[in-house]
Amino acid sequence: MFYAPAWSRFLQKKLGRRAWRLTQTRFGGRPGWIVQQIVKLSAPELFAEGPVCIVDSDLLFIREFDVSDLLPASGTRVLMRLEPQKESAKHQNYMRKSRELLKLAPNGEDHHFMAYPAIWYMNWVRQLRDELERRHGKPWQQVLYDSGFFSEYLLYGVYLDEVLRPPSLEQRKTPLHVGVWDREGFDRFMRSPRQILDSYPAGKAPLTLVVQSNIGMGPQSYADTIEAALLTPPTDTDEPRNAPPSGYATATKTS
């Protein structure tokens, strides 16, 4: 179902841009980034209950932490909600797609739920899948396969925020991650990772670093460099805290 058969892959290569009609059929398959999102939403088949912390392959933990960094001590359930100064067109598009899949009316696009690491609760994931099947009359995997594109994190967040609306949900608006979204930002970060991470105010240091996978930089190409930088004590030439490098920290924290 998820992957195109060999004959279809062969024709897609031969036809090039003209293969678009084939890719829209059940023989077209789906890209890996679509498949892995459907796999994530199958998590309840592995975890019966409780919160699950999802760590993507392009995510690095950059400081020590414990469970209190992720979950409220009160036991209240949490949803990460990001409200950037200027929302990206990509996230707005994913928000619209999430509401389309859930058959909801248009709503605000000044926020999103794409946070790293993500924290999901398995019974709510099951209810989301049931909602998709109820709305579309077919298996939830098929619904998402047929959608063409979607974001599993935004779909989950929109479902909780606009459909389920659990009364005890805590929506956190301080991101746990710092993001690098393009090659220019990656090169800038790699020149001074320690200075950039130390520029955050005390108590708001990011827990993780995420480097957008579609810029073509695998974790093996930067993990050792970043680890070495974090283990090196700051020097007198390092930029002072609370003074992010110009043009970088604001963009990464609000993307």
Q: Of 250 and 57, which is predicted with more confidence?
A: 57
Could you tell me the pTM of the whole model? 0.79
**Residues 6+ away with beta carbon under 8 Å from 231:** none
Domain boundaries, the chain: 1-29, 31-56+72-172, 177-254
Q: Of 164 and 216, which is predicted with more confidence?
A: 164
**Omega of the bond leading into 117 within 30 degrees of 0 (cis):** yes
Question: What is the average pLDDT across 21-30?
Answer: 56
Q: Of 2 and 247, which is predicted with more confidence?
A: 2
169-172's contacts with Cβ under 8 Å and 24+ in sequence apart are 169/76, 169/77, 169/78, 169/79, 170/72, 170/76, 170/77, 170/78, 170/79, 171/78, 171/79, 171/80, 171/81, 172/78, 172/79, 172/80, 172/81
- pLDDT over threshold 50, residue 26: yes
What is the pLDDT at residue 6?
A: 63
